[in-house]
Amino acid sequence: MQCPRCSEEVDELQTINADGKRKRVCEDCVGQLQEQDEIADAATSAMKGMMEYKGGRR
């Protein structure tokens, strides 16, 4: 099987949910997509923290 994301030839594709869509990707891509999710979450938290920080300085 070939991973549609990285075009890597793999034994098995895994199904994951990303951006509300089901994707079939290889294990490496699963890890990368999950990492992106975590980064997106972290960015949201960082943004909130920044707003609180600005509010506190005033």
Is residue 13 a contact point for Zn ion (CB under 5 A)? no
Q: Does 3 bind Zn ion (CB under 5 A)?
A: yes
- Interface with Zn ion, residue 24, by CB under 5 A: no
23-26 LR contacts (CB < 8 Å, sep 24+): none
Please report how close the Cβ of residue 27 comes to Zn ion at its closest, in angstroms.
Answer: 8
Regarding 29 and contact with Zn ion (CB under 5 A), the answer is yes
Q: Rule CB under 5 A: which residues touch Zn ion?
A: 3, 5-6, 8, 25-26, 29
